[in-house]
Amino acid sequence: MDTATKIKLLKNMQRVRTLEELCAELYTKEKIRGFLHLYIGEEAVATGVISQLLPNDNVLGTYREHGHALLKGVSAKKIFSEMFGKIDGCSKGRGGSMHLYSVTDRFFGGSGIVAAGIPQALGLAFAAKKLKESRRTVCFFGEGAMAEGAFHESMNMASLWNVPILFCCENNFYAMGTALSRSQSQIDLTSKARSYLIEAEKVDGMNVYEVFDKTKFALDYIEKEQRPFFLEFQTYRFRAHSMFDPELYREKEEVEKWKTRDPIELAKKEITKSFTDNENLLFIKEWEEIQHGIMLEMSEAINFAENAKVENFSDLSLEVL
């Protein structure tokens, strides 16, 4: 992978991180309300996968999907406006944090029901195959979703009917507060996919470059073989499950240990590992500029959201019986 691509991925991770940090700040200021699930710590997964997708490809996410939406092309303006409940939000402000939708970007949510998106993503992939459209479908879900029937039913049908879909399990080791080993009898998650005769691989979800490469292989496979593929990304959420979570279920030491594998720091190390001192200085400067640019993108978006209008209640009757 060339340095430019490596820096692009690093930048995308930082965009997600900055967006999420600002969300946390805006939540404490009560600009964002309701549930807010932050992706901080897990950025390498969405970045490594979505950065190589095309606008035409379908993505379906979970309730921790701000970053996925951003990377798939939904503007920060639309995302912040959505979380502010404004009409300029990607779902007109009706959805909020968990329900970001943008059909023009082929981003289909944003679901608050664990695993409910998996059969829907299967349907999107099924339709693309039947309609002979050249688009790929990528479905994200957490390891918690793998205890749901919807997951197993979907895996079975995907394999049975040769549906080209990429299943991306973001294994952050906790289903809300229940540790993987306390909720699953079989913690080798790829074996569940293999039991449905689906090709599967484990990936270091803190290493964006490994995520990128393994995803590239999987995407090529689903296109060529017209079969599903399952990737398990082992990752970790640095923040609480949601803003209401006192984190009684895990030790601080565990969190700190994972933080030593911060995906952004790992990527920076990877980029600079063979740099000379001079190249290093240049990179530090470039990185500052990148961060500055991201801050500008986000603060413009927040300004936009602040000034956006809310939807009138009287307009609601137009769309639902």
Residues that bind other proteins (CB under 8 A): 58, 89-95, 99, 101-103, 108-109, 111-113, 116, 118-128, 130-131, 133, 149-150, 153-154, 156-157, 160, 319-321
Q: Rank residues 4 and 321 by Cβ distance to other proteins and give the closer one.
A: 321
As measured in angstroms, the least distance from the Cβ of 155 to other proteins is 9
Q: Which of 4, 5, 21 has the alpha carbon at shortest distance from 211? A: 5
Q: Rank residues 75 and 111 by Cβ distance to other proteins and give the closer one.
A: 111
> How far apart, in whole angstroms, are the C-alpha atoms of residue 187 and residue 126?
29
> How far apart, in whole angstroms, are the C-alpha atoms of residue 235 and residue 226?
28
Q: Rank residues 47 and 154 by Cβ distance to other proteins and give the closer one.
A: 154
Name the strands in the sheet holding 137-142, side by side, starting at the edge strand that comes first in the sequence.
101-102, 107-108, 58-60, 137-142, 166-171, 229-234, 199-204
Angle separating helix axes 277-307 and 263-272, nearest 10 degrees: 140
As measured in angstroms, the least distance from the Cβ of 184 to other proteins is 19
As measured in angstroms, the least distance from the Cβ of 17 to other proteins is 27
Question: What is the H or E stretch that residue 257 is in?
Answer: helix 252-259
Q: Rank residues 277 and 319 by Cβ distance to other proteins and give the closer one.
A: 319
Q: Which of 137, 107, 113, 110 has the alpha carbon at shortest distance from 124? A: 137
As measured in angstroms, the least distance from the Cβ of 149 to other proteins is 6
> How far apart, in whole angstroms, are the C-alpha atoms of residue 273 and residue 242?
35
As measured in angstroms, the least distance from the Cβ of 91 to other proteins is 4
Q: Rank residues 153 and 245 by Cβ distance to other proteins and give the closer one.
A: 153
**How many CA atoms are closer than 13 Å to the CA of 130, on its beta-carbon side?**
7
Q: Rank residues 19 and 128 by Cβ distance to other proteins and give the closer one.
A: 128
> How far apart, in whole angstroms, are the C-alpha atoms of residue 33 and residue 173?
26
> How far apart, in whole angstroms, are the C-alpha atoms of residue 196 and residue 228?
10
Q: Are 147 and 114 in contact (CB under 8 A)?
A: no
Q: Rank residues 116 and 187 by Cβ distance to other proteins and give the closer one.
A: 116
Q: Which amino acid is at 11?
A: K
